[in-house]
Amino acid sequence: MPRILLSGFEPFDRDTVNPSWEVARALDGWQVDGATVQAVRLPCVFGEALERLDAALAVGERPVLVIGLGLAGGRTEVTPERAALNVDDARIPDNAGRQPVDRPVVAQGPAAYFSTLPVKAIVQALRREGLPASVSNSAGTFVCNHVFYGLMHRLATQAGLQGVRGGFVHVPALPEQAARMPGMPSLGLEMQVQALRVLLQTALTVQTDLREQGGSLR
Amino acid sequence: MPRILLSGFEPFDRDTVNPSWEVARALDGWQVDGATVQAVRLPCVFGEALERLDAALAVGERPVLVIGLGLAGGRTEVTPERAALNVDDARIPDNAGRQPVDRPVVAQGPAAYFSTLPVKAIVQALRREGLPASVSNSAGTFVCNHVFYGLMHRLATQAGLQGVRGGFVHVPALPEQAARMPGMPSLGLEMQVQALRVLLQTALTVQTDLREQGGSLR
Amino acid sequence: MPRILLSGFEPFDRDTVNPSWEVARALDGWQVDGATVQAVRLPCVFGEALERLDAALAVGERPVLVIGLGLAGGRTEVTPERAALNVDDARIPDNAGRQPVDRPVVAQGPAAYFSTLPVKAIVQALRREGLPASVSNSAGTFVCNHVFYGLMHRLATQAGLQGVRGGFVHVPALPEQAARMPGMPSLGLEMQVQALRVLLQTALTVQTDLREQGGSLR
Amino acid sequence: MPRILLSGFEPFDRDTVNPSWEVARALDGWQVDGATVQAVRLPCVFGEALERLDAALAVGERPVLVIGLGLAGGRTEVTPERAALNVDDARIPDNAGRQPVDRPVVAQGPAAYFSTLPVKAIVQALRREGLPASVSNSAGTFVCNHVFYGLMHRLATQAGLQGVRGGFVHVPALPEQAARMPGMPSLGLEMQVQALRVLLQTALTVQTDLREQGGSLR
């Protein structure tokens, strides 16, 4: 059966849980539109995260969809990312203590890749289901963007992966994290999992994205 | 069986749902520590809201606890309020089109009443359960504060109500509301209901509040 | 010549500057409407701050106006405070290492005092001059609120001070502070000083405050 | 004498002032490091803004530096932008009523261009002068990003412009704008002008940017 690769990250920055992995794990084995979700847990480490992703891409048949998930502390909504930048610039050390500054993810790679997910249709579908969502114009410059860029580069350049749709989605903190960080917005795990179900279904069935505004003034 | 009066508001400001009433309704009839929750739906109207509360206070036996719930759009946490001010100052019209400015809730009433809930113990209990919570130092100056002040004035001055514990708790928007208002933080209904369960239990069992800091620099 | 007492605080929380004192100092000796500003620098210490204020109130003739200034890091506007609460609840230690929790400012004092400044007229006058301003409904529970409450209590209860107008105004951080704290909003010192000039003039000349909404929904 | 092209925008979104143009205008004719600032006022209109920029680039000698300025309402700091995306996605109509959705700025252009300004050195220099500043990872998808991308494309592809340094800088609202929009952060015009002086000098004198972290987790 065709597979959907869905990655999440291990906890980072001294936390003990990462909703991106909790969501991916909860959907492992879930079937949608004739495909099955395969969850992959990535280390929050520059370089190693992409090695783990490469291993998952290499074993088994060509996926129909590859989506990376990551935590965006401070966001209130599920946010499909629009574009990945070819830069690593770490504000804090990663889980291996590395803190690259202004280095390309891929030497000689293009400055950016756009998501090939139908991000507008996804946001519309999520909102219709009562799930908070917006398009994001920046995936940051930490390991999330690193994986997003690395993924899109592989999908664009590796022979066996061309034409595979892919992208990255940031999710809010969990309420249990917010309970330890006063003022932090959150979204419950069940809502996040339900959002990813809607998102995967939309990504599999909508071929041409909506022409609906979702931009930002700045 | 002793009763706990738990009020919530009808929707306002052109919205179609108000989590404060959804939470109260969900707990109507719930039994805790030998008492039963009685949910009361208040109109979002200055004056009329207190008349409806008075009616609920008058019918039946003296409650063991009276808590008002209200929506605080923009907040991320369940926030027990510390104090009610003796002022009505409406930024928008209420549901009857009234917009009082700088009028006392109770003429000749004291400037403020403090909640008699153990707000620090409540916040600690909620956080321990993984539910985001903080003490709030301002209930605003709209119908929420109006009901909070009016309630505390009744508990302080009406013969049959003296000694009854009471207070007010603001809750965040629901995810379905946030789905219509990009950027708005939210907390799922089940989490809010669970938070109120923990809160009611704490309010019934903790007699002396914790001496734990919960203040604000400004 | 009649005097206006204008207090500001020394730096706190490991900072090296406090705009509240910089503003007060800049206006020391300034004359407006036949009165002269007398700046007073308060220690950021519970108790001692009020002792210093008492000393300034005691020496010299009865002031025509007494206004406390304090820093509210995170605010974008000059914010006249509406009410002071009778509670000390310190989130961080003060400059003497004290961290009172849920203690009254004045034992047996009323729960709150309202500012006797024309806060609505002040906000309107500031905005007309292109200076960002809003009414605030909470002065927090740290040394700022402590001084605000202590001041209003003295103006309400001390024989020689009755009828003297008073209040408290929070100001934003300075740009130089924001330069050390990424994301912190700020307002330049000259703007802050100009705002206080407009504020003092308005407080001296407007006897009855505007009936203009300035409330908050929560 | 060599020229620095510094563009600002006309007001938009029903406002009457735009700090980006006020800053550019204030620096028109200012000399720094042997070069003179030439201010250019751009219409806030997709397409026309770049036509106006083209006209300014075409007349006169090759500039040594080209910087676009734009207003980012809601930001607290002067923010040099890191990258421009090849997308127009307007959340509101521009000043000609156009609202493009998900169209490339330049058909067949690369997905993004990086600023060639030393953005880390600029942020460090600004902070050292007590001016709030941060690197931004998204210039949005409105006319600002449109001009930024169009500019970098011209500098990268037009024979006479290759090697010319360029970039884009967002500035906060002015206090007078914040006075009309409660809660909006601002930075005074003099501070903004001073920030641009420091920024231009840094851009002219620092050849290799600092290797200093300035990234974002998301």
Please tell me the CATH code under which domain D3-205 is placed.
Answer: 3.40.630.20
The answer, yes or no, to whether residue A197 has pLDDT greater than 90, is: yes
Chain B residue closest to A133 (CA)? B179
Distances (CA, A) of B24 to B4, B124, B187, C103, D55: 11, 22, 15, 32, 64
Task: State residue C215's pLDDT score.
Answer: 80
Q: With contacts defined as CB-CB under 8 Å, which chain B residues touch A80?
A: none
Of the candidates D138, D202, D165, D173, the one whose C-alpha atom is nearest the C-alpha of residue D67 is: D165
What angle (nearest 5°) sits at the alpha carbon of residue C70, between those of residues C67 and C74? 140
pLDDT band at C101 (very low <50, low <70, confident <90, very high): very high
Contact C161, C57 (CB under 8 A): yes
Per-residue pLDDT averaged across A148-167, rounded?
96
C133: tokens are 């301003």
| Residue D72 DSSP label | -
The answer, yes or no, to whether residue A184 has pLDDT greater than 80, is: yes
Domain ranges of chain D: 3-205
Task: State residue B24's pLDDT score.
Answer: 98
Task: State residue B27's pLDDT score.
Answer: 98
Contact A156, B104 (CB under 8 A): no
Q: Alpha-carbon torsion A118, A119, A125, A129, what sign?
A: positive
Q: How far is C92 from C99, CA to CA, in rounded Å?
A: 6
What is the phi/psi pair of residue C166, to 5°?
-155, 165
The answer, yes or no, to whether residue B213 has pLDDT greater than 80, is: no
Find the range with the poorest average confidence among A67-71, B214-218, C167-171.
B214-218
pLDDT band at D100 (very low <50, low <70, confident <90, very high): very high
Catalytic residue among B22, B44, B77, B144: B144
Task: State residue B101's pLDDT score.
Answer: 97
Q: How many CB pairs under 8 A join C and D?
A: 72
Q: With contacts defined as CB-CB under 8 Å, which chain A residues touch D82?
A: 85, 87, 141
What angle (nearest 5°) sits at the alpha carbon of residue A32, between those of residues A28 and A37? 25
Catalytic residue among D77, D81, D146, D153: D81
Task: State residue B115's pLDDT score.
Answer: 98
Distances (CA, A) of C84 to B195, C149, C203: 30, 5, 18
Choose from B16, B126, B186 for mutation: most chain A CBs within 10 A: B186
Q: How far is A82 from A168, CA to CA, in rounded Å?
A: 8
Catalytic residue among C144, C146, C176, C190: C144
Of the candidates A169, A163, A184, A134, the one whose C-alpha atom is nearest the C-alpha of residue A24 is: A169
Residue type, A173: A
Mean pLDDT of chain D: 96
The dihedral region occupied by C144, where left means phi > 0, alpha psi between -120 and 50, and beta the remainder, is: alpha
String of DSSP letters for B106-139: STT--SEEE--S-HHHHHHHHHHTT--B--BS--
What is the phi/psi pair of residue C103, to 5°?
-110, 145
Q: How far is D16 from C126, CA to CA, in rounded Å?
A: 19
The answer, yes or no, to whether residue D153 has pLDDT greater than 80, is: yes
Reading across the β-sheet that carries B35-42, which strands appear in turn?
B31-32, B35-42, B3-9, B65-71, B165-171, B79-80
Task: State residue D95's pLDDT score.
Answer: 98
Tens of pLDDT, residue by residue over B60-85, are 999 999 999 999 999 999 999 999 99
Strand C79-80 versus strand C83-85 pairing type: unpaired
Q: With contacts defined as CB-CB under 8 Å, which chain B residues touch C92?
A: 217
Per-residue pLDDT averaged across C26-44, rounded?
98
The answer, yes or no, to whether residue C218 has pLDDT greater than 80, is: no
> What percent of chain A shows pLDDT beyond 90?
94
Q: How far is C147 from C199, CA to CA, in rounded Å?
A: 19
Tens of pLDDT, residue by residue over B126-147, are 999 999 999 999 999 999 999 9
Choose from C82, C114, C218 for mutation: most chain B CBs within 10 A: C218
Contact A168, A115 (CB under 8 A): yes
Per-residue pLDDT averaged across B168-192, rounded?
98
In the numeric block, the tokens 């995810």 are attached to B175
Q: How far is C50 from B101, CA to CA, in rounded Å?
A: 32
Tens of pLDDT, residue by residue over C134-161, are 999 999 999 999 999 999 999 999 999 9
The answer, yes or no, to whether residue A218 has pLDDT greater than 90, is: no
Q: How far is B31 from B34, CA to CA, in rounded Å?
A: 6
Which H or E element spans position D70?
A: strand D65-71
In the numeric block, the tokens 């967002």 are attached to D170
The answer, yes or no, to whether residue A199 has pLDDT greater than 80, is: yes
State yes or no: is C81 an active-site residue. Answer: yes
Alpha-carbon Rg for chain B, nearest whole angstrom, is 16
Tens of pLDDT, residue by residue over D178-200, are 999 999 999 999 999 999 999 99
Task: State residue C209's pLDDT score.
Answer: 87
Task: State residue B217's pLDDT score.
Answer: 79
Per-residue pLDDT averaged across C85-106, rounded?
97
pLDDT band at B210 (very low <50, low <70, confident <90, very high): confident
Of the candidates C214, C76, C201, C195, the one whose C-alpha atom is nearest the C-alpha of residue C135 is: C214
Residue type, A117: L
A127: tokens are 């909102």
> What percent of chain B shows pLDDT beyond 90?
94
What is the phi/psi pair of residue C85, to 5°?
-100, 150
Residues in chain D: 218
Task: State residue B174's pLDDT score.
Answer: 98
C-alpha dihedral, B143 to B145 to B149 to B152, nearest 10°: 110
Q: Alpha-carbon torsion D197, D202, D205, D207, what sign?
A: negative
Task: State residue C153's pLDDT score.
Answer: 98
State yes or no: is D146 an active-site residue. Answer: no
**ipTM for the predicted complex:** 0.95
Touch of A by C (3+ CB pairs closer than 8 Å) = no
Chain D: closest CA distance from residue C106 (Å): 33
CB atoms B129 and A76 under 8 Å: no
State yes or no: is C144 an active-site residue. Answer: yes
Chain C: closest CA distance from residue D167 (Å): 21
Give A72: exposed, middle or buried? Use CB within 10 Å, 0-12, 13-18, 19+.
Answer: buried
Q: How far is B181 from B173, CA to CA, in rounded Å?
A: 10
Contact D68, D7 (CB under 8 A): yes
The answer, yes or no, to whether residue C33 has pLDDT greater than 90, is: yes
Contact A44, D192 (CB under 8 A): no
Mean pLDDT of chain C: 96
Chain B: closest CA distance from residue A170 (Å): 14
Q: With contacts defined as CB-CB under 8 Å, which chain A residues touch D74?
A: 218
Q: How far is D196 from D5, CA to CA, in rounded Å?
A: 13
